[in-house]
Copies of this chain bind each other. A is one copy, B any other.
Amino acid sequence: MPNDVASKPYVLGVDLGGTNVRAAVIDRVSEQIVARGENIPSRALDGVLATAGQIATAAKTALHQGNIDPERVVGCGIAVPGVIKGREGIVSYAPNFKDQWRGVQISAPVQESLGIPVHIGNDANLAAFGEFRFGSGRGVRDLVMLTLGTGVGGGIIIDGKLIEGATGGAGEIGHMIVNAGGRGGNSSFGSLEGECQRDAIIERAARKVQQGRKTVLAERTDYDRFALTPALIAQAASEGDAVAIEVFEETGYYLGIAVASLINILNPEMVVIGGGIAQAGELLLDSIRRTSNANALRALARTCQIVPAQLGDNAGIFGGAALALAEVVTEG
């Protein structure tokens, strides 16, 4: 690494959402967040320059909070919720923003404002890259991550590199078909997302309540399916509620089928399960592991750990930082 890079002890990570932007400065040695800029509105519908300005503000807020000179920051990586052509720094499609940001250059105006190199990547891909570099995947070369939430996202690291695909669309693991002809999400019928996204989990529980199964979920929601949440179901499961346990077992089955296929296709050392739904914890992980082990080639399953994510809400921020660091090493 050239001297001028070695003399820059910090890196910036930014998580751009449809509502807010969050930025953080990460110390390259301790690998900890040392300063934050949060609660900055994204101004998602006000156009690219407005949002770029908010990103820069979040970054500058973090620098100011940590009293850090931008000269000491090696670069900045931004996790964007959309399809990204990282090499060209272009957003191909980001549905939460004005006119879906089709073919938008977001890094250039941010770079101009901050005076440091700025790179962008897809948020789910960068969550995987963050776990790889700073979280559960430290020391691993080949990793797949699934992020479970409103949808199901993913990211793939092969031989230490984040896979982008031909047009920036790689890692759309939520759109794998795990149950051909099954439940549809925003994707095809029987996709992993269709079977395992937040709404699918709630629907699974709601049907069991409707069928008259004995469960604490019925009284706790007063038989109102709109009152059901994954957290409520996870809580009931942790108390031993058989119906709630079944919901996570069934969800874990489809996740395990996808994980088994991914292990057979990519032979990773590690599969990381993250996102809000993953907070159901060992119950869900056990079901995933059991199904995956039963369906993956034994030699490949044996050499692949299936583990929870470590970075929680900060995965995107750490992923942005990991991207910025990877670009420095490549350029230097």
Contacts and interface: CB of A to CB of B under 8 A. Distances in A.
A267 B167 CA distance: 7
A257 B187 CA distance: 13
A142 interface: yes
Interface of A: 83, 92-93, 141-142, 154, 156, 158-159, 161, 163-173, 175-180, 187-188, 254, 257, 260-262, 264-269, 294-297, 299-300, 303-304
Given A171-B265, A264-B172, A294-B188, A303 B177 contact: no
Nearest to A144: B265
Question: Which of A158, A168, A179, A304: most chain B CB closer than 10 A?
Answer: A158
A177 to B, nearest CB: 5
Nearest to A167: B303
Contacts of A299: 83, 92-93, 167, 169
Nearest to A299: B169
B260 A300 contact: no
A154, A161, A267, A268 — which one has the most chain B CB atoms within 10 A of its CB?
A: A267
Greatest chain B CB density within 10 A among A92, A166, A167, A295 is at A166
A297 B169 contact: yes
16 contacts: A156-B266, A164-B267, A165-B266, A165-B267, A166-B268, A168-B267, A170-B267, A172-B265, A173-B264, A177-B178, A177-B260, A177-B295, A180-B254, A188-B260, A188-B296, A261-B261
A264 B176 contact: yes
Given A167-B300, A170-B267, A172-B264, 5 more contacts: A158-B163, A167-B303, A173-B264, A180-B257, A265-B265
Contacts of A260: 177, 188
A142 to B, nearest CB: 5
A270 to B, nearest CB: 9
Given A177-B257, A260-B188, A299-B167, A156 B265 contact: yes
Contact of A166 (B170, B171, B267): B267
Contact of A268 (B142, B154, B165): B165
Closest 5 interchain pairs by CB? A165-B267, A175-B264, A169-B267, A170-B267, A176-B261
A267 B164 CA distance: 8
A266 B264 CA distance: 14
B175 A296 contact: yes
Contact of A267 (B172, B257, B261, B268): B172
Nearest to A174: B264
B158 A142 contact: no
Given A180-B179, A257-B177, A187 B268 contact: no
